[in-house]
């Protein structure tokens, strides 16, 4: 894969500012007293050593795979030693050991949905493959939190190139850059905890190159790339970048490529077309970031060196310390794209590096200009299309059924109540579906191994029963295992669930939309939780603790009873109630008929505009503005409910010439006010 740029790979230093204050060092920072050299092919090793000794350079260590020596040189003598080594004619290149930086900027952790999974059709892809633990994703970053419940089961033993130890715990760069990146790629999925990772079953190989101050030496980056390739990682994700020249990085990239690895690297967050590296190196997929609206993120770099794009704004992911946060940046887009590559490779491990790159480019979602463009490359990654294409390239028909092993319960075991059916299912290509049958009837399905089903044996008679687990692969081959168990349940369950309402408290005065919260527990298990208001059901849930939102304006002011009912599998019902006093503002006797006053304050009518245009609207009302809609040529651009009312018009797909901007505001009574139209002239 050759970039649309010059053949040399230039390394550079990049700065990222996180939320809060971060100290920044000057551009072109390098490791003090450090040079990187590569001996010219054919030059005798002793002759090269003599040249190093005469120049006053000492070998600190070597990166053997690419023939690079890391030298220690007095800082004040760097220029002189460089000239001496160049004049010897015994080295392919001599360069300083520059540093690069992590690219993500964290946001407030207030997003409850992972919009990016829908954009890349992750769920459809998981229907074909959930990935494979044998296809790890190497993450070159600040490490990963080994205690995070959504990462711990996924982390492989890696290496810390900063400390020279096996400790790969996140060192806290940018608040936990590596933990965020790792979660975006492969957080534990289908575990009822936190977030889902694109690489459902793919593991993470953490390689620490970014120190706690957000710097990474190029020699460590190169060494980590080589380490990943040597340890069988065929997917490498690097959310680090810089703009200074280096042949060392290109040599490491080429070495990994030769071993079948594909590197995904962040394009950068400066919003310019200036190339950053390793993203702009040959044989690296440079990833730009997209918004939920399928536009290029305003912070994302772009240029003819971009290969693909991926969602990169408001990405809910794992946070160092065990929590979750929403982050943005090409640092998040990169592991998402890398994980799509891992899913495709899991579906067809025989793909070469070149085949995988072509497959990802040809099966992306084309955004922007048809075909290739400098903003989205060949398009936004699509996991489903990529996996489907990967499977279509499998040349040999699969006739081998999966192998199933049931580890619990043991054969002829006596069981009562809820029974956990556990085990593993493996396949030469990949398991697509796992099914639990009881006496020949399907009662549950799963999509990954190891599996764990919960079977309520109280629904069966006290006798011998057959538990069969069937595993299906993509070719619909079926493997199975069976155990016979003896059900011996005691008396029927007659114990109702216990309900506790923690909010609101009984006797509280409430208004507007209120939150009804609490817990429901049962000796066997709660199956349904219901909120009743004055005896009428208004909402249901299935999990405890529960939280319902109730709009009290639907009831007249006065006392009302809120009841929570909890049901178990035996249909026992437990409940708890609180009485609250609803006190909403009384409606005025005269209906509100006054519409809002709306004015478009920006842009000014008659003015020329170009590129991204910011539209600002002022809206006032005698009671209050409920919503403002902004239109371009009578087509709605956006809605806003909070002042100031703004909208961004991306003019890239609009024709040059005259365009009309209008706006309408509504109040709570449904009165609508219209702004005077603003006419602008688009120039490009």
Options 101, 116, 177, 659, the catalytic residue: 177
Name the helix (H) or strand (E) containing 341: helix 330-347
Active site annotation includes 177? yes
| Residue that has been written with the tokens 């920044």 in this structure | 24
| Angle at the Cα of 669 from the Cα atoms of 667 and 671, rounded to 5 degrees | 60
Task: Give the three-state DSSP class for 592.
Answer: coil
Tell me, rounded to whole angstroms, the distance of Cα 666 from its chain centroid.
37
CA–CA distances in Å: residue 676 to residues 466, 601, 622, 664, 680:
74, 10, 20, 10, 13
Give the active site residue among 141, 301, 522, 568.
141
Contacts for 100 with CB less than 8 Å, ≥ 6 apart: 11, 12, 13, 14, 215, 216, 218, 221, 240, 241, 242, 277
Phi-psi region of 646 (alpha: psi -120 to 50; beta: other; left: phi over 0): beta
Q: How far is CA 679 from the centre of its chain?
A: 41
* Alpha-carbon span 536 to 552, nearest angstrom: 14
| Residue 602 neighbours by CB distance under 10 Å | 15
The tokens describing 596, both together, are 């809002």
Which DSSP helix (H) or strand (E) runs through 665?
strand 657-667
- Decide: 201 and 346 in contact? Cβ < 8 Å: yes
Preceding peptide of 450 cis, ω within 30°: yes
Neighbours of 545 (CB within 10 A): 13
Q: Which of 90, 173, 105, 91 is nearest to 139 (CA)?
A: 173
Alpha-carbon gap, residue 498 to 529, rounded angstroms? 11
Between β-strands 478-487 and 414-415, what pairing exists: parallel, antiparallel or unpaired? parallel
Q: Which residues lie below 8 Å from residue 474, measured CB to CB, with a gap of 6+? A: 128, 129, 347, 391, 398, 429, 430, 432
Catalytic residue among 182, 331, 364, 618: 331
- Phi/psi region, residue 121 (left: phi>0; alpha: psi -120 to 50; beta: rest), is left
647 to 358, 628, 639, 667: CA distances (angstroms): 37, 10, 8, 19
60 is catalytic: no
Please, which residues have CB within 8 angstroms of residue 319's CB and are 6 or more apart in sequence?
109, 148, 175, 176, 179, 180, 325
Q: For residue 208, report the phi and psi dihedrals to the nearest 5 degrees.
A: -85, 115
Say whether 365 is catalytic.
no
Catalogue the E-assigned strands of 542-607.
546-551, 558-568, 573-582, 597-602
Q: How far apart are CA 288 and CA 379, in angstroms?
A: 10
Place of tokens 């690219």: 103
Give the pairing type, strands 137-141 and 235-238.
Answer: parallel
Token digits for 144?
Answer: 């990963």
Report the first-to-last Cα separation within the chain, whole angstroms.
33
Tokens of 448: 């990954």
Residue in the block written with tokens 């527990």: 521
Task: Give the per-residue SS3 of 242-281.
Answer: ECCCCHHHHHHHHHHHHCCCEEEEECCCCCCCCCCECCCC
3-state secondary structure (DSSP) of residue 64? helix
- Which positions ≥6 away from 156 have C-beta within 8 Å? 136, 203, 204, 205, 206
Active site residues: 141, 177, 331
């Amino acid at each position: 894969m050759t970039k649309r740029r010059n053949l040399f790979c230039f390394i550079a230093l990049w700065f990222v500012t996180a939320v809060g204050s971060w100290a920044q060092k000057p551009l072109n920072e390098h490791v003090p007293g450090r040079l990187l050299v590569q001996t010219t092919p054919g030059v005798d090793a002793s002759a090269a050593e003599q040249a190093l000794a005469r120049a006053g350079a000492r070998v600190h260590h070597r990166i053997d795979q690419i023939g690079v020596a890391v030298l220690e040189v007095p800082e004040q003598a760097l220029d002189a030693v460089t000239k001496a080594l160049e004049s010897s004619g015994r080295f392919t290149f001599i360069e300083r050991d520059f540093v690069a930086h992590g690219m993500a900027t964290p946001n407030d952790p207030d997003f409850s949905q992972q919009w990016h999974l829908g954009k890349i059709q992750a769920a459809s892809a998981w229907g074909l493959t959930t990935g494979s633990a044998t296809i790890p994703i190497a993450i070159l970053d600040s490490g990963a939190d080994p205690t995070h419940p959504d990462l711990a089961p996924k982390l492989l033993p890696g290496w810390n190139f900063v400390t020279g130890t096996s400790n790969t715990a996140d060192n806290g760069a940018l608040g936990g850059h590596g933990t965020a990146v790792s979660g975006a790629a492969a957080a534990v999925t289908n575990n009822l905890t936190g977030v889902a990772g694109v690489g459902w079953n793919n593991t993470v190989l953490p390689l620490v190159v970014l120190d706690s101050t957000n710097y990474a030496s190029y020699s460590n980056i190169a060494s980590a790339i080589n380490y990943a390739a040597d340890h069988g990682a065929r997917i490498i994700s690097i959310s680090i970048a810089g703009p200074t020249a280096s042949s060392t990085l290109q040599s490491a990239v080429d070495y990994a490529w030769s071993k079948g690895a594909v590197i995904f690297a962040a394009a950068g967050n400066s919003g310019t077309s200036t190339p950053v590296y390793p993203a702009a190196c040959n044989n690296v997929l440079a990833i730009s970031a997209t918004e939920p609206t399928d536009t290029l993120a305003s912070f994302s770099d772009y240029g003819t060196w971009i290969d693909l794009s991926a969602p990169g704004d408001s990405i809910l992911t794992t946070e160092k310390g065990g929590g979750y946060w929403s982050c943005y940046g090409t640092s998040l887009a990169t592991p998402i794209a890398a994980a799509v590559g891992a899913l495709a490779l899991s579906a067809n491990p025989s793909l070469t590096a070149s085949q995988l790159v072509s497959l990802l480019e040809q099966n992306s979602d084309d955004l922007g200009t048809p075909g290739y463009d400098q903003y989205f490359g060949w398009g936004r990654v699509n996991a489903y299309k990529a996996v489907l294409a990967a499977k279509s390239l499998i040349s040999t028909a699969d006739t081998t059924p999966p192998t199933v092993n049931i580890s619990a319960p043991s054969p002829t075991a006596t069981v009562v109540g809820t029974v956990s059916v556990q085990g593993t299912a493996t396949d030469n290509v990949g398991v697509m579906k796992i099914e639990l049958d009881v006496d020949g009837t399907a009662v549950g399905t799963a999509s990954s191994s190891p599996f764990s089903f919960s079977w309520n044996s109280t629904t069966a008679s006290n006798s011998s029963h057959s538990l069969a687990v069937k595993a299906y692969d993509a070719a619909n081959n079926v493997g199975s295992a069976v155990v016979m168990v003896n059900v011996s349940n005691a008396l029927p369950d007659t114990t109702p669930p216990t309900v506790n309402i923690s909010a609101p408290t009984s006797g509280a005065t409430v208004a507007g939309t209120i939150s009804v919260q609490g817990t429901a527990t049962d000796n066997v298990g709660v199956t349904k939780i219901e909120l009743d208001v004055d005896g009428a059901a208004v909402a249901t849930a299935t999990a405890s603790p529960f939280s319902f939102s109730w709009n009290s304006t639907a009831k007249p002011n006065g006392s009302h009873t809120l009841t929570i009912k909890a049901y178990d599998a035996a249909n026992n019902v437990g409940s708890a109630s609180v009485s609250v006093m609803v006190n909403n503002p009384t409606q005025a006797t005269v209906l509100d008929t006054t519409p809002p006053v709306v004015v478009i304050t920006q842009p000014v009518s008659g003015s020329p505009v170009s590129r991204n245009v910011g539209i600002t609207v002022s809206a006032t009302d005698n009671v209050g503005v409920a919503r403002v809609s902004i239109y371009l040529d009578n087509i709605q651009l956006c809605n806003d409910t909070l002042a100031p009312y703004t909208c961004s018009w991306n003019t890239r797909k609009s024709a040059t010439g005259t365009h009309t901007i209008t706006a309408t505001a509504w109040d709570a009574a449904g009165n609508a006010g219209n702004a005077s139209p603003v006419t602008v002239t688009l120039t490009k």
